Amino acid sequence: MADRNRRIPTVEPIIMRPMFAAHVPATSVTWVSQASIDSGIVKSYNLRKRVEAVRNCRAIGKKDMKYNDSMPKMKVDPERYVSHDLGAYFLTFLYFYFLFFRVFVLLCVRVLRHAVVGGTICVVRFG
Instruction: Report how far apart, in Å, the C-alpha atoms of 113 and of each of 78, 100, 106 are.
Output: 37, 20, 11
Q: What is the pLDDT of residue 93?
A: 63
Q: Which residues of 53-68 are buried (b: 16+ CB within 10 A; e: fewer)?
A: eeeeeeeeeeeeeeee
- Rounded CA gap, 22 and 67, in Å? 34
pLDDT tier for residue 2 given thresholds of 50, 70 and 90:
low
Task: Report residue 74: phi and psi, to 5°.
Answer: -105, 145
- For 48-100, the pLDDT digits (tens) are 888 999 998 888 887 788 877 677 777 788 887 777 776 555 556 666 666 67
> How long is the chain?
127
For residue 38, which of 47, 50, 51 has the smallest C-alpha distance?
Answer: 51
- For 77-87, the pLDDT digits (tens) are 888 777 777 65
- Rounded CA gap, 72 and 87, in Å? 11
Flag the least confident range among 10-24, 53-67, 76-90, 106-120: 106-120
Could you state, in order of their start, the residue ranges of all structural domains in the chain? 1-67, 72-127
Flag the least confident range among 23-27, 81-85, 111-115: 111-115
